[in-house]
Amino acid sequence: MPGRGDPRPTGRLPRDLHPGAWWLWALGMGAAATRTTNPLVLGLILAVVAFVVTSRRSDAPWAKGFGAYLVLALVVITVRVGFRMVLDGQHGTHILFTLPEIPLPDAAAGIRLGGPVAAEGVLAAFYDGLRLATLLVCVGSANVLANPKRLLKSVPSALYEVGAAITVALSVAPQLIESGRRVMRARRLRGDVGRRTRWFQQVAIPVMTDALDRSLQLAAAMDSRGYGRTGDASRGSRRLTAVLVLGGLAGVCVGTYGLLDASTPEAMGAPMLVVGVLLGAGGVVASGRTVRRTTYRPDPWRAAEWGVVLSGLVTATAMTVAANLDASALHPSLQPLEWPQLPPLAVVAVLVGALPAVVAPPPRRDPSAIAVVRPGDATDAADREVAVR
């Protein structure tokens, strides 16, 4: 008979979804956010992402840092609006207030500090900041839902070296969040709540030190397991791999520039981009052959993974179609000012992104973390911690 602290019984066995599926879904939601500056649509994307994270996050330490990404998103919006008001607030006729203007020398012509602040300028900064904040939250949701260590294990051999660098870089934010939670919990147990003296010494330095120690432990673990060991490759094969990779990067750069600049010849656009992608793919495959590694119990890719990925892909595609059909609905006008509208196609596209909350299986829970907590347990634990210290 299940106890009071056990989760509700479901008809599906809990398992960890493939981390690549969560990242592809999050990238699809982020791509949809880049197609609009409508605050109502962006707010709906934030609500959908928060709903999926709340429904399908595990009890792992990195899964508890979604609130930190929301706080960082608010900081991004605040900084964007603040800089716009100080540097270029007069962007319309509806003046809200006037800041003291600081005169600048002639060398800084075109730059203004202070002065009138119009509603059009503030709204433009708010829309841009909200779009960037939504993109940040989408990436943060992938960090919360996906296990970075399992993501590194799932990278194919051809992309192992690049994937390892990307995975280590992506794990920095979860490690900082986890370290910050541990430090703040230790401060509460010591009774330091409310004390703001020496905050940098008591919080910031321990968090950075702990994150650095974890990085060193990861490097030592990778070294002890033979990370970086390559097969026997001749000097000619290494040179061929370098030529393919560098040639592919050059082709991608030239092809991208040709597509963006209409004055360049057509041969320097899409054809060069295709050639660059093919050369780069050949270089990655050639470099992957030198990596000798095995995978123990690889993560399965089943129907649930396909459903999560397709939901993000459909959301991004539908938002792109909606932006091409009615761009004015996804980008509200600022001159003249108009109230943002909710396009039906965009609403349906964003709501499709909420399907992982139903399609994805429930995550595994740590049995030791599921316990009945009595009212006095937290106080007793804090007293014991203080007594030990």
pLDDT in tens, 140-149: 899 888 877 7
137: Cβ–Cβ under 8 A, 6 or more apart, which residues?
A: 46, 49, 50, 69, 70, 73
Ramachandran quadrant class, 152 (left: phi over 0; alpha: psi -120 to 50; beta: rest): alpha
Inter-CA distances, 237 with 70, 80, 186, 230, 357, Å: 47, 49, 53, 13, 47
Q: Domain residues of the chain, as ranges?
A: 19-230+301-388, 234-290
- Mean pLDDT taken over the chain: 77
74-77: long-range contacts at Cβ-Cβ below 8 A with a sequence spacing of 24 or more?
74/133, 76/129, 76/132, 76/133, 76/136, 77/126, 77/129, 77/130, 77/133
| Separation CA 299–CA 5 (nearest Å) | 29
Of 194, 173, 147, the C-alpha closest to 299 is: 147
- How many C-beta atoms lie closer than 10 Å to residue 380's C-beta? 10
Cα 151–chain centre separation = 14
Q: Which token pair is 326?
A: 């009615």
- Percent of the chain whose predicted confidence (pLDDT) is above 90: 23
203: Cβ–Cβ under 8 A, 6 or more apart, which residues?
A: 180, 183, 184, 187
306-335 average pLDDT score? 90
- Cα angle 57, 59, 63 (rounded to 5 degrees) comes to 55
Helix (H, G, I), strand (E, B) or coil at 95: strand
| Separation CA 163–CA 148 (nearest Å) | 11
Which DSSP string do the residues of 85-124 spell out, in sequence order?
HHHH---SS-EEEEEEEEP--GGGTT--EEEEEEHHHHHH
310-332 average pLDDT score? 91
Of 163, 161, 176, 180, the C-alpha closest to 215 is: 176
Q: Which token pair is 77?
A: 């919006």
pLDDT exceeds cutoff 70 at 56: yes
pLDDT exceeds cutoff 70 at 11: no
| Separation CA 187–CA 184 (nearest Å) | 5
Across 20-24, 148-152, 361-365, which has the greatest mean pLDDT? 20-24
- What pLDDT, in 10s, does the model give residues 188-243? 777 766 555 566 566 677 777 777 777 677 667 766 666 655 556 677 777 777 78
Range list of H helices, 337-376: 344-352, 356-359
196: amino acid identity, one letter: R
Helix (H, G, I), strand (E, B) or coil at 67: helix
105-122 average pLDDT score? 77
Least confident of 114-123, 156-165, 365-374: 365-374
Q: Which token pair is 317?
A: 């595609």
298: amino acid identity, one letter: P
327: amino acid identity, one letter: A
The helix-helix angle for 344-352 and 303-325 (nearest 10°) equals 160
287: amino acid identity, one letter: S
Range list of H helices, 89-171: 119-145, 148-154, 160-170
Which DSSP string do the residues of 167-201 spell out, in sequence order?
HHHHTHHHHHHHHHHHHHHHHHHTT-TT--TTHII
- How many C-beta atoms lie closer than 10 Å to residue 138's C-beta? 26
pLDDT exceeds cutoff 80 at 315: yes
The helix-helix angle for 205-224 and 172-189 (nearest 10°) equals 130
Least confident of 66-75, 249-258, 367-376, 378-387: 378-387
